[in-house]
Structure 1
Amino acid sequence: MRALLLASLAITHVTLINPGDSAPRSDVTVVVRDGRIAEIGNAAPADAQIVDGRGKFLIPGLWDMHVHLSWVTSSALPVLIANGVTTVRDMGSKLSEIDEWRARIASGILVGPRILRVGPILNGKSFNKYQMVPGNPDATRGAARTLEFVGVDFIKIHRRFPRDSYFALLDEAKQLGIDVVGHIPMTVTPEEASDAGQVTIEHTETLFEGTFSAALKGRLSDAIRHFREAEADKLFARFVKNHTVVDPTIGAWNAVVDPNAKNDPRLRYVATSLKKVPTPPTSDSEMREMLDTLAEFRQVVRQMHRDGVTLVTGTDIAGTRIPGFTLHDELANFVECGLTPLEALRAATLTPAIVTHRDRNLGTIEVGKIADLVLLDANPLDDIHNTERIAAVIVSGQLFDRAALDALLRQAEELAARN
C-alpha cells in the first residue's frame, strides 16, 4: 500500500497537541511540504491538498523504544504505521535484515516506520541468534569498535554480560561517542550502571535481576515492596542526577497474567508461527504472586515518575508479538501509573527524540521538522485511549488516510495468515 505523496499538504482547523507545550492550540492549520512541516498558522496554500481537521487533534508520530523486528517479521511494519508508530528503536535483531528493511522503507517499496537499531546484543552467554559473546574486556572493546564501524545507532547489553567487560564497554563507547542501552548486568548494581553512563535501562524487572537477588529469598513482590520503601528514592535521585532513562515495558507482563491473552483479536496481525502467548500460572498462589509482583512493578514506575526519572514508552514486542496496538496499551499503563495524558504522550514522542539525539528533526510539531504526524478523532488529553482513534497518519510527509490505514491492516492480516 503506497501513501499519497503530495507536494503540499495542509491539515486545516485542527487542534494541535505538542508535547513540548503546556496547552493545545486550537483552529490551527499545519502545512507540510517536501516531507517537512513548512508552516503552522491559519491559512492553507492554494495548491495544497486539504485534510479537514475540524473536530480533530494532531499529535507527533509515536515512538516504540523497544521492539525486536526480526522476531515479529516484516508483517509488523505496516501494523506499526496503522497505529501511528512512526519511529521504533530495534533492541536486537538481524542487522542485515533490518538494514534491508530500512532501505526498502526509504525507497517506498515497504511501508514502515523509521528504524533505529542496536544490531546484535552483547551478552556473556548467548541464548538467541541475535547476540554476540565477545568474552574478555579487550574483546569487548573490539566488538564495540566493530559495531560503531558498521553504523549501529546504539550498543545493547544483556543481563549475563560480565562485570569487567561491562565497564570496559562503557569506557570504549564513551570514546566512540555511542550510547549504551539495555539490561543491567547481574553483577552490576543499578547505581553503578547509572554512574557509568548507561543511557537507558530496559524493563522494570532488570532492577531486581542481579545484585538484589540475594534479597529475593521470599516472595518477589515483598522484596520489591521493601525496595520501594527503603531504597528506591535514593536510587531514583541518582538516575535523575545522571540523566538515566528508564523504559519500563510495563505491558510485556500483562500477557503473562491475562488468562484471555490467547484470545486477543489483535493476534490476527501476528504470523501464525509466532503466536506464542505466555502461559499464565496454573495455581492460585502462583497467579496471586504474579499479580502482586506486577502491581509492585507498577508502583515502582509510579515512584520513578514521582521522583522525576525520565521515562519512555516501549513494548518489547518480541514478547507479546502484537506490534503497534501495544504501544497504545503502554500509554494507558503510563497513565495508570500516575502520568497525565500529556506526560504519557511526551514519553512517546518528544522524550524518545531527545534521548536518541533526534529532537532536531523529530518529536514535536514545529516548522522545519520532519512531518511525522498522527491525526486523531478525539482528544487524547481527555482520555489517553483516544490515541487509538486514528483518522490519518503522515510519515515524512506521506499521507495515509483512514482507508489507506485499513488497507495496511488487511495486508498485514493476509501476510500473517501465510507465515
Structure 2
Amino acid sequence: MVRTKILAKNYQRPAIDMLRGHALSASQAIRFLAVGFLLLTVAASAWGQNAVTLAFIGVNVIPMDTERVLPRHTVLVQGDRIVSIEPSDLAIVPKGAQRISAEGQYLIPGLIDVHSNLLSDKYIADEYADEELAVIVANGVLTIRDPIGKPELLVYRDQIEDGELFGPSLYVGSPQLAGVGYGNAANSRMVATPFEAAAAVREFEAAGYDFIKLAFGITPDIYEGIVLTARGRLPVIGDVGPDIGLGRALESAHQIEHLDQYLETLMDEATPRAKGLSGVGVWVVENWAEIEKLNIGRIETVVRATVESEIWNTPTLAFLNSSFGTGRSDEEIEASSDYGFVSPSVREELLRDRDRFWSDPPEESFRMRYVELRNRIVAGLHRAGGKLMAGSYSPEWLFLPGFALHRELESLVSAGLPPFAALWAATRSPATFLSWGGAGRTEYARVDSEGIHFETATTVEIDFGRIAVGKRADLVLLGANPLDDIRNTTLIEGVVLRGRWIQRDELDAILERSAEVLSDAPLLPGFQEKERR
C-alpha cells in the first residue's frame, strides 16, 4: 500500500510510535485501507513499468515560452518526457497510444507552489501526509516547495522522486533558523551566535535540505554568519526582520517571502523599522497608523533596487491581503473548496489567529491601504521585470495546500498582473528558481530558456515549468483558457504527473477519499500555539 511505502526507508519509527500510542478504531482502519487502495491504484498507473504513449489530440497548448497558444495540436508523451508537439492535422500518433480527445481544452505546465507547508508538518500526524500530497496533485499543483523542513519531508522527497510515493515533486527548506527571542516555532532551530548559525547551515546542507530558511529574531551578526556560510552551498530564503532590512537582504541574494520589509522602505528615515507591518508587526495595533505616512513615491526606487539585485520574491498576496486586509467571512470560509479537508479540531486551531485578529481589527482605511500598497509593489515589480513566484502560505488560516495556489493566482491578477504573468509566476519563474536552488548554488553567470549557467562553466537544465519537447511531462489539462480568465486553472480535466495520465474521475475519487480521511485527522495531542512563520 502507498501508506506502507511512506513508512519505508527511514520512516518506521513515527508509525511505530503512533501505533503504540493508540489503537485504530474500526472506522479509522477501514478508511486507512480504502485510501491506501485508491492511492495504490493511482500510483500503480502513474508509475507502471510499460506505460503506453499518451496522445492529447486537438488540444490548445500554452507552452509558457512566450504569451501564445498553439491551437489544435497533438502532444505525445512517452515515459516521463514530452516527445512531440505538432499541429493535429500533421501529427502521427503511434499505434497503441492512449488517445485523449482534448478538443477545446487547454494544456499548461504543472503548477508550482513555492510556499506550501503541509498540515502534517505540525498540526496532524505524519501518517496523513500521503492524503495531503494526493490532494495537492488533484489540484493541478505538481511541484511544491515546503519552506520549513523536517527529516520526514526529505524522505517524502526522495520517495516521490523514486516513484515509491504518489505526490508532487518536492523541494524542502531547512528547519527555520530563528533568533532566541522568536519563540518556540514549529520545526525551528534557535541560534544565539554566528557560530551556531554557521554550524546549523553546514548541518542542514549535509542532511540534504535544498534551502536555508530564515525566520525572525535574527540579529545582523547572526545573519552575516548564515549568508556567508550558505554562499556557494545553499540559497537563503524566507523572512527578513527589521534588524536586517531590505537593503542587506537584496545584497545577500536572499529570496524574500511575503514582501518582508518592503513597506518599511516607504517609511520616513526617522521612523523605527519595528513600527512596520512586516511579519509580527501586523499584530501591533499602533503600527497600523504608520501606514498613512508611507511615501508611495519611493516604490519605484525599491522596485528598481530589487530588479537590479536579481532576487526572487514570493508575495503570498492572497493570504496576507485577505487575512489582514479585506478579511474572509465565516460564510466565505465555509463555502471554500478546502473547508471539508480538516477535522473540527484542526479547523479551530487554524482559525484561532484569524479570530483573534478580527476580534479587534485595525481601521478599515488602514487595512485597505495595506492591500493597495502591497498590490502596487507587486505590479511595479512585474512591470520592471522583477522575479515573482506564486506561493500560497498554506495551510495557515485554512488556506490549504493545493487549493490555495489558485487563490494566489487570482490575487496576482487582481494586483495588476496579466493572467499570463500570473501563470508564469506559478510555472516558469519558480521552475528556474528551484532548479537554481536544487543545484546547491547561489551564484550564476546568466539564465536563459535552456538552463542556468554557472561561472564554473556548468549548466543546470530547467526540466519543468514549460511545455517543450524533451521536458518532463508534468501537465494540467484545463476545460477553458486561463489566459482569458485565471480562474480557469481550477477547471481541471486531468493531470499528467511525471508522464502518467490521471483523469478527472480518478482525481475526484482522490479528493473524496482524502477528504474523508483528513476530516477525521485529529489535532496533534498537546499542540501548543506556535509562531506561524
Q: Same fold (TM over 0.5)?
A: yes
Partner of 2:402: 324
Structure 1 stretch 12-21 or stretch 68-77: which is displaced more? Answer: 68-77
Aligned partner (choices 67, 91, 100) of residue 51 of structure 1: 100
Structure 1 stretch 382-391 or stretch 265-274: which is displaced more? Answer: 265-274
CA distance 1:244–1:130, shift in 2 (3 Å): same
Q: CA deviation at 1:264?
A: 3.5
Q: How does 1:66-215 map to 2 (within 5 A)?
A: 66-69=115-118, 70-71=121-122, 74=129, 75-93=131-149, 95-125=150-180, 126-176=183-233, 178-198=234-254, 200-208=255-263, 212-214=273-275
Q: CA deviation at 1:219?
A: 6.5
Aligned partner (choices 423, 436, 439) of residue 345 of structure 1: 423
Q: CA deviation at 1:318?
A: 3.1
- Counterpart amino acid of residue 136 in structure 1: T
TM-score by length of 1: 0.92
Q: CA deviation at 1:244?
A: 1.2
Q: CA deviation at 1:311?
A: 0.8
CA distance 1:285–1:34, shift in 2 (3 Å): closer
Distance 1:263 1:364 in 2: 35
Aligned partner (choices 56, 63, 72) of residue 11 of structure 1: 56
Partner of 2:329: 259
- Counterpart amino acid of residue 413 in structure 1: A
Deviations 1:3-57, CA, capped at 9 Å, x for gaps? 5342311111111102222211111111111111111122321221111111100
Partner of 2:524: none
Deviations 1:169-223, CA, capped at 9 Å, x for gaps? 11111132x110111122111011101221x100034435796334679975664
CA contact (8 A) 2:139 2:402 kept: yes
Deviations 1:310-350, CA, capped at 9 Å, x for gaps? 11100110313312111111101011111111111000000
Partner of 1:307: 384
CA contact (8 A) 2:275 2:287 kept: no
Deviations 1:77-129, CA, capped at 9 Å, x for gaps? 11111110000010113x22112323443455542111100120011134323
Aligned partner (choices 515, 518, 525) of residue 413 of structure 1: 515
Matched, 1:355 2:433: yes
Distance 1:26 1:316 in 2: 35
Deviations 1:217-272, CA, capped at 9 Å, x for gaps? 99756644654514222122111011111100011131451122542342101344
Q: How does 1:267-278 map to 2 (within 5 A)?
A: 267-275=339-347, 276-277=350-351, 278=354
Distance 2:292 2:299 in 1: 10
- Counterpart amino acid of residue 339 in structure 1: L
Aligned residue for 1:357, secondary structure, equals helix
CA distance 1:255–1:267, shift in 2 (3 Å): farther
CA distance 1:344–1:99, shift in 2 (3 Å): same
Distance 2:193 2:362 in 1: 42
CA distance 1:255–1:189, shift in 2 (3 Å): closer
Structure 1 stretch 359-368 or stretch 268-277: which is displaced more? Answer: 268-277
Partner of 1:21: 66
CA contact (8 A) 1:281 1:287 kept: no
Aligned residue for 1:133, secondary structure, equals strand
- Counterpart amino acid of residue 87 in structure 1: T
CA contact (8 A) 1:221 1:292 kept: no
Distance 1:172 1:285 in 2: 41
CA contact (8 A) 1:224 1:296 kept: no
Distance 1:152 1:71 in 2: 18
Distance 2:462 2:198 in 1: 30
CA contact (8 A) 1:19 1:343 kept: no
- Counterpart amino acid of residue 175 in structure 1: G
Q: How does 1:329-408 map to 2 (within 5 A)?
A: 329-357=407-435, 360-408=462-510
Distance 1:286 1:352 in 2: 36
Q: CA deviation at 1:400?
A: 0.9
CA distance 1:365–1:285, shift in 2 (3 Å): closer
Matched, 1:281 2:336: no
Distance 2:302 2:468 in 1: 35
CA contact (8 A) 1:247 1:311 kept: yes
Distance 1:145 1:294 in 2: 38
CA distance 1:170–1:57, shift in 2 (3 Å): same
Structure 1 stretch 71-80 or stretch 243-252: which is displaced more? Answer: 71-80
CA distance 1:230–1:398, shift in 2 (3 Å): same
Structure 1 stretch 214-223 or stretch 204-213: which is displaced more? Answer: 214-223
Deviations 1:281-309, CA, capped at 9 Å, x for gaps? 23575455334423332233223323332
Identical-residue share of aligned pairs (%) = 29
CA distance 1:222–1:283, shift in 2 (3 Å): closer
CA distance 1:103–1:267, shift in 2 (3 Å): same
Instruction: List gaps (5 residues or longer) in structure 2.
Output: 1-38, 266-271, 278-283, 437-460, 522-533
Partner of 2:457: none
CA contact (8 A) 2:57 2:102 kept: yes
* CA root-mean-square deviation: 2.3
CA distance 1:106–1:213, shift in 2 (3 Å): same
- Counterpart amino acid of residue 314 in structure 1: G
CA distance 1:48–1:315, shift in 2 (3 Å): same
CA distance 1:157–1:303, shift in 2 (3 Å): same
Instruction: List gaps (5 residues or longer) in structure 1.
Output: none
Structure 1 stretch 354-363 or stretch 134-143: which is displaced more? Answer: 354-363
Q: CA deviation at 1:141?
A: 1.3
Pair member with larger Rg: 2
Q: CA deviation at 1:160?
A: 1.1
Partner of 2:110: 61
- Counterpart amino acid of residue 184 in structure 2: F
- Counterpart amino acid of residue 268 in structure 1: G
Distance 2:497 2:276 in 1: 47
Distance 2:172 2:312 in 1: 17
Distance 1:33 1:218 in 2: 57
